Amino acid sequence: MLIFYDALAARVAIPNGMDIIAAVIGILLLLEAARRAIGFPIVIVASVFLLYAAFGYFMPEVIAHKGHDIASIVSHEWLTSEGVFGVALGVSCNFVFLYVLLELYWSRLVQVAFL
């Protein structure tokens, strides 16, 4: 994403075929990573939401929507800052970084205290 940032920014709403292929592969790899790290239930929940986005027009009238094609779903989830690389990932990375940094500081402090 960083290498082709200018090209991606120029065609935000118009993904090409390679963008769609990369997004599908990325989402499938992310689902597999979630299955290995957390378990199969989170993959089921994520898959239900992806299927709802694609086939929401088959739902009852109360929760129905017009539906989206697969290309728009995966491009929105993978190529925009509202999907996978959104606020949740940014906040998680910041807190994980702070936790690791404080843990490193604390372990060094404890080692110095015992000397």
pLDDT tens digit sequence for 59-95 = 998 999 998 998 889 988 988 888 888 888 888 888 8
| Domain match, 17 and 48 both | yes
Question: How far apart (Å, rounded) are the C-alpha atoms in residues 46 and 29?
Answer: 13
pTM, full prediction: 0.74
Question: How far apart (Å, rounded) are the C-alpha atoms in residues 24 and 76?
Answer: 11
Distances 13 to 1, 40, 69 between C-alpha atoms, Å: 15, 32, 13
Range of the domain at 60: 5-84
| Domain match, 54 and 106 both | no
| Domain match, 108 and 97 both | yes
Q: What is the pLDDT of residues 45-59, one digit of tens each?
A: 999 999 999 999 999
| Domain match, 77 and 93 both | no
Confidence of residue 1 (pLDDT cuts 50, 70, 90): low
* Number of domains forming the structure of the chain: 2
| Domain match, 51 and 66 both | yes
| Domain match, 47 and 70 both | yes
